[in-house]
A and B are shown apart, each in its own frame.
Chain A
Amino acid sequence: MASQDSFYQYLRNRGVSRRDFIKFCTVMAASLGLDPGATGAIAEALETKRRMPVIWRNFQECTCCTESFIRTQHPKASDIIMTMISLDYHETLMVAAGHQAEEAVAKAIEDNRGNYILAVEGAIPVKDGGIYCCIAGRPAVDVLKEEAKHAKAIIAWGSCAVNGCVQAAKPNPTGAVPVQDIIKDKPIINVPGCPAIAEVMAGVITHVLTFERLPELDSQGRPKVFYGHRIHDKCNRRAYFDAGMFVENFDDQGAKEGWCLYKMGCKGPNTYNSCSNLEWNGGLSYPIKSGHPCIGCSEFGFWDNNGGKSMYNHLSEVPGLKIGVNVDTFGAAAVGAAIAGAAVHAGLSAVTKKQLDKQENEKNCKNKIEG
């Protein structure tokens, strides 16, 4: 592809200097969690690439992932859409409608066989032949199967596409399932969250674009670069957890001081996501920082993980959680208990990590995209 259509050329035409362009690549490398050596690779990719074709399908969802995607600060959504990818189908944003829209997607598939990314936002209802979500007279499940056939890889945006999310919560009236339950023969990047974080979404796309391979995935198909840690691990309130200082009621003195929300039902200790690392909306805040416990929205089945109780009940009462300490016995001054608590957490991290490592090989062998 001639380089006059490249992102770099576009920037140069806009009067951006080479130096500023490299600076931009460095920022992007940092935001992707890469070492500074990756700057060159990013620069090269942006200097030579034709826009990657992306077909973005919306099924059973609330469009929060599209809304999140357009919130990305670096790179900006307008730059992604105008200069990095060719968004050949996206119901929320595309101009054409009806048969013109359907023709556009057919043409995009025809022109880019084996070379496009299929991005899926939403769950897929399979009950009763899939009639609970139809587009142009066809059930979502048929659309997905057909368009996955010639895709290079699939990105499952958000918890709906990754684990079914709200429509799959009990009793799942429409038989909603995630992408990975239907498509078994394609690499799938799972990007959970309700919605997924904007810069994570942009990061996944630019990672694929830049390095021409999928990011390394964990056992659940999530990019390690964004889902490698629990929110708890990097929480700005973590010191208070370790010290045994907890908010006991909303707006109490502990809440005003920003103490740990564990007793308010915080799911940070068993939720893998970048909220406490990247934070939301340009690194501004995340739920815990703004005073509300994490509801675990990127974890499988999170709507039903509270053992039939309120999400404001803390984790020790939730069956199956391996934190072997009852925080009710913690006091703000109970130093011994606090140290024990911290040690148990360290142990849990190690155990969880071991389990993940064990299962990972299976997924990782799918990582390399065949060109």
Chain B
Amino acid sequence: MAERIVVDPITRIEGHLRVEAKVEGGKIIDAASTGTMIRGIEIIARDRDPRDVWALVQRICGVCTTTHALTSIRAVEDALQIRVPKNAELIRKIMLAVIHIHDHVVHFYHLHAPDWVDVPNALQADPMRTAELAQSISRWPKSTAGYFRDVQDKLKAFVSNGQLGIFANAYWGHPAYKLPPEANLMAVAHYLEALDWQKEIVKIHTVFGGKNPHPNYLVGGMASAINIDGDNAINIERFNLVSKLIDEALEFVLEVYLPDLLAIASFYKDTAAYGGGLGNYLCFGDFSTAPNNDPSGFLLPRGAILNKNLSEVLDVDPRDPQQILEYTDHSWYENSKNGLHPWEGETSLKYTGPKTPYKTLDETGSFDKPYSWVKSPRWKGHAMEVGPLARMLVGYAKKDAPSHAFIKDEIDKALGGLGVGVEALFSTLGRTAARGIESKLCAVWLKQFFNELIANVKAGDQKTFNQEKWEPSTWPKESKGVGLTEAPRGALSHWVHIKDGKVANYQCVVPSTWNASPKDLKGQHGAYEASLLGVPMAKADQPVELLRTIHSFDPCLACAAHIIDTETQQTTKVEILR
């Protein structure tokens, strides 16, 4: 008889996620993931000026802050056929690379590491041996015995009065933790260091966007004017600051994050055997090296992989009305039609779950009725995984991509270091490793984009904004556009319909919508659910392995749960059926 477990809240994520699972014979045999919060941002975006919407939809997420703003201006610029100056393109690419690195580092240390690192066990470590370990894997200058002793003292002081704060009531000592005390201490030290470092890299956003989180963007370019002979715009002092921060970011990724990731992974090769899930991967691609964001120049290439088949990368066309369709069979909506392309949306919220407070969303455990605010997007009918792993796999497999050799080389290096084959990528561990590998690529590209920006300014181009279509009088009466971005968590798309100078319809298909989706019409699980099948559970009431696998996706549920609005009257119905 299977044991049913509920994990709600899933902590160390963005937003509100619940997982209900069945455990039998020490393994998860079925799982349902539920987004339990919804805000209705798409409805709110309606009837607004399309030039303003980036700011509104940026507030979908403050963790991957900027990605929704960027995607929104791409959608509006696509609809209104606006070309942006080269400097603005480069600044946007710089800001996107920055958020990838920031988000990945914060995810690894602050959201994911406690799944691998037994924090109190670090108190047993010998600081001298910790320094030897750290020095053997990287050239990070802080790695001295004295430094690690200080961290240990700090940790001792922290736990000594019994106030464990964020580390209270956790799973310390669980058999799934495998690091020796020295590795735990090194990771704790870098947990604190990463917390201090992450506030630095985002200053690049502050330079160009005025603040972080939620820096400013602009339809038609960027608002941060460049004037190399002015003291109140982007000049050499600001460029110097950005340059320094980029160098520091590259160093942190190369000397702290990646070595830690590979060192920790070497103790957890068992997690390469589970958590793979769907085996279907989707990327829209990003970081074009060709003008006007042309897909042929994408450093993170566009494409899809089905059934782990790396010998074939399938073409993806998001505009094709048949490729991306969203289903709501297991979501709390009432639609007259199902399987709609994002430009054709229709929705009314209709909660049919149990009365609160509830212990389970489905007494029967079958989850054959609606159980989430998240919808089920599908590509050509397939449930897909999006994110760093999807991007690395598509880059690895797509031989004609401009960055193929670089991506393949970095992946091979990491796999070689761990002594595992490429099949290890299809797993919990693979997902976590892919994020680290991608961070290195992004840090290298970040420097490249910055050098291009300097070269362009040096050549005499200081333009950051295209004024031509700023005024609504220059817009067509009606138009549609799509913005496509690779956000830190995966393929992101915003779909806008502009009519008479206002937003008539706005929709977002978000990375975590793909990954966190409930079952679809055919009963196919979403990526989270599929990845949990077969995950071992040493102790059913202490879900370390479950959390590890869910966290490997870096869930963002405020993004995931969203509404498609109709051109008709929006309604809300609530029926407590069960």
Show the binding face of A for B, using Cβ within 8 Å: 1, 4-5, 9-10, 13-14, 50-51, 53, 58-68, 70-73, 76-78, 81-83, 85-88, 90-101, 103-104, 107-108, 125, 127-139, 142, 165-167, 169-174, 176, 194-195, 198, 236-237, 249-251, 255-258, 275, 280-282, 284-292, 295, 297, 303, 306, 309-312
Complex: A98 Cα to B56 Cα, angstroms: 31
Task: Fill in one digit per residue for B334-353: 1 if any A CB lies within 8 Å of its CB, else 0.
Answer: 00000000000000010101
Given known pairs A61-B558, A133-B37, the reply for A90 and B196 (CB within 8 Å) is no
Given known pairs A136-B8, A250-B221, A287-B210, the reply for A5 and B160 (CB within 8 Å) is yes
* 8 CB-based A-B contacts, threshold 8 Å: A64-B61, A76-B196, A95-B11, A96-B168, A96-B169, A133-B36, A258-B231, A291-B225
Q: Is the CB of B9 within 8 A of A91?
A: yes
Q: Is the CB of B211 within 8 A of A285?
A: yes
In the complex formed, the residue of B with least CB distance to A197 is B211
Q: Is the CB of A96 within 8 A of B8?
A: no
Chain A CB within 8 A of B83 CB: no
Choose one: B6, B110, B161, B221; the contact of A98 (CB below 8 Å): B6
Q: Is the CB of B11 within 8 A of A62?
A: no
**B-side contacts of A1, CB under 8 Å:** 161
Q: Is the CB of A166 within 8 A of B62?
A: no
Given known pairs A134-B16, A166-B41, A286-B210, the reply for A97 and B62 (CB within 8 Å) is no
Beyond the given pairs A133-B36, A257-B230, 15 more chain A to chain B contacts, judged by CB atoms under 8 angstroms and listed by A's residue number, are A14-B153, A51-B163, A91-B11, A92-B11, A92-B13, A93-B12, A93-B166, A96-B171, A100-B169, A129-B574, A132-B37, A171-B570, A173-B563, A250-B225, A310-B52
**B-side contacts of A65, CB under 8 Å:** 62
Complex: A3 Cα to B226 Cα, angstroms: 53
**A-side contacts of B213, CB under 8 Å:** 64, 67-68, 71, 195
Across the A-B interface, give the 10 residue pairs with the lowest CB-CB distance, nearest first.
A258-B232, A64-B62, A287-B210, A173-B40, A290-B210, A251-B465, A292-B216, A310-B49, A292-B223, A95-B170
Choose one: A53, A96, A312; the contact of B170 (CB below 8 Å): A96
**B-side contacts of A101, CB under 8 Å:** 9, 11, 169
Q: Is the CB of A251 within 8 A of B7?
A: no
**B-side contacts of A64, CB under 8 Å:** 59, 61-63, 65, 213-214
In the complex formed, the residue of A with least CB distance to B157 is A10
Q: Is the CB of B467 within 8 A of A70?
A: no
Q: B371 to nearest A CB, angstroms? A: 12
In the complex formed, the residue of A with least CB distance to B216 is A292
**A-side contacts of B209, CB under 8 Å:** 287, 290, 292
Choose one: B11, B61, B169, B222; the contact of A63 (CB below 8 Å): B61
**A-side contacts of B212, CB under 8 Å:** 71, 280-281
Task: Fill in one digit per residue for B205-243: 1 if any A CB lies within 8 Å of its CB, else 0.
Answer: 111111111111010111111110011110000000100
Chain A CB within 8 A of B356 CB: yes
Q: Is the CB of A195 within 8 A of B214?
A: yes
Q: B121 to nearest A CB, angstroms? A: 13
Q: Is the CB of B463 within 8 A of A311?
A: no
Q: Is the CB of B153 within 8 A of A62?
A: no
Q: B185 to nearest A CB, angstroms? A: 15
**B-side contacts of A78, CB under 8 Å:** 192, 195-196
Chain A CB within 8 A of B199 CB: yes
Given known pairs A250-B467, A256-B233, the reply for A291 and B153 (CB within 8 Å) is no
In the complex formed, the residue of B with least CB distance to A1 is B161
Choose one: A77, A97, A108; the contact of B11 (CB below 8 Å): A97
**A-side contacts of B65, CB under 8 Å:** 62, 64, 67
In the complex formed, the residue of A with least CB distance to B40 is A173
Complex: A98 Cα to B542 Cα, angstroms: 9
- Chain B residues 237 to 296 lying within 8 A of chain A, measured CB to CB, are 241
Q: Is the CB of A303 within 8 A of B56?
A: yes
- Chain B residues 1 to 18 lying within 8 A of chain A, measured CB to CB, are 6-16
**A-side contacts of B543, CB under 8 Å:** 97-98
Choose one: B157, B211, B462; the contact of A281 (CB below 8 Å): B211
Q: Is the CB of A251 within 8 A of B221?
A: yes
Chain A CB within 8 A of B406 CB: no
**For A95, A170, A255, which residue has the most chain B Cβ atoms within 10 angstroms?**
A95
Q: Is the CB of B165 within 8 A of A81?
A: yes
**A-side contacts of B81, CB under 8 Å:** none
In the complex formed, the residue of B with least CB distance to A138 is B357
Q: Is the CB of A134 within 8 A of B198?
A: no
**A-side contacts of B570, CB under 8 Å:** 171, 173
Choose one: A51, A134, A166, A236; the contact of B36 (CB below 8 Å): A134
Show the binding face of B for A, using Cβ within 8 Å: 6-16, 36-41, 43-44, 49, 51-52, 55-56, 59-63, 65, 106, 110-111, 114, 119, 150, 153-154, 157-158, 160-161, 163-171, 192, 195-196, 198-199, 202-203, 205-216, 218, 220-227, 230-233, 241, 349, 351, 353, 356-359, 373, 462-465, 467, 470, 541-543, 547, 558, 563, 570, 572, 574
Q: Is the CB of A95 within 8 A of B207?
A: no
**A-side contacts of B198, CB under 8 Å:** 70-71
Choose one: A62, A76, A96, A286; the contact of B59 (CB below 8 Å): A62
**B-side contacts of A287, CB under 8 Å:** 209-211, 216
**B-side contacts of A297, CB under 8 Å:** 214
**B-side contacts of A93, CB under 8 Å:** 11-12, 110, 166
Q: A303 to nearest B CB, angstroms? A: 6
Q: Is the CB of B49 within 8 A of A311?
A: yes
Choose one: B110, B210, B231, B357; the contact of A288 (CB below 8 Å): B210
**B-side contacts of A9, CB under 8 Å:** 157
In the complex formed, the residue of A with least CB distance to B542 is A100
Choose one: B7, B224, B572; the contact of A97 (CB below 8 Å): B7
Complex: A85 Cα to B213 Cα, angstroms: 23
**B-side contacts of A136, CB under 8 Å:** 8-9, 357
Q: Is the CB of A281 within 8 A of B558?
A: no
Q: Is the CB of B8 within 8 A of A135?
A: yes
Q: Is the CB of B195 within 8 A of A310?
A: no
Complex: A138 Cα to B16 Cα, angstroms: 12
Q: Is the CB of A135 within 8 A of B36?
A: yes
Q: Is the CB of A71 within 8 A of B37?
A: no
**B-side contacts of A286, CB under 8 Å:** 210-211
**A-side contacts of B157, CB under 8 Å:** 5, 9-10, 13, 83
**A-side contacts of B165, CB under 8 Å:** 51, 81, 85-88
Complex: A174 Cα to B241 Cα, angstroms: 43
In the complex formed, the residue of A with least CB distance to B226 is A256
Given known pairs A77-B195, A97-B10, the reply for A137 and B214 (CB within 8 Å) is no
**A-side contacts of B16, CB under 8 Å:** 58, 91, 133-135
Complex: A64 Cα to B212 Cα, angstroms: 9
Choose one: A83, A85, A87, A295; the contact of B55 (CB below 8 Å): A295
In the complex formed, the residue of B with least CB distance to A106 is B169
Complex: A275 Cα to B208 Cα, angstroms: 16
**For B110, B154, B160, which residue has the most chain A Cβ atoms within 10 angstroms?**
B154
**A-side contacts of B462, CB under 8 Å:** 256
Q: Is the CB of A166 within 8 A of B11?
A: no
**A-side contacts of B44, CB under 8 Å:** 166-167, 169-173, 303
In the complex formed, the residue of A with least CB distance to B111 is A92
Q: B128 to nearest A CB, angstroms? A: 18
Q: Is the CB of A95 within 8 A of B233?
A: no
**B-side contacts of A58, CB under 8 Å:** 16
In the complex formed, the residue of A with least CB distance to B217 is A292
Complex: A103 Cα to B171 Cα, angstroms: 13
In the complex formed, the residue of A with least CB distance to B467 is A249
Given known pairs A13-B153, A100-B169, A290-B209, the reply for A73 and B199 (CB within 8 Å) is yes
**B-side contacts of A255, CB under 8 Å:** 223, 225, 233
Complex: A60 Cα to B259 Cα, angstroms: 37
**B-side contacts of A98, CB under 8 Å:** 6-10, 543
**A-side contacts of B167, CB under 8 Å:** 94-95
Q: Is the CB of A134 within 8 A of B37?
A: yes
Given known pairs A82-B154, A97-B547, the reply for A236 and B232 (CB within 8 Å) is yes
Given known pairs A88-B168, A95-B166, A137-B356, the reply for A128 and B11 (CB within 8 Å) is no
Q: Is the CB of B210 within 8 A of A62?
A: no
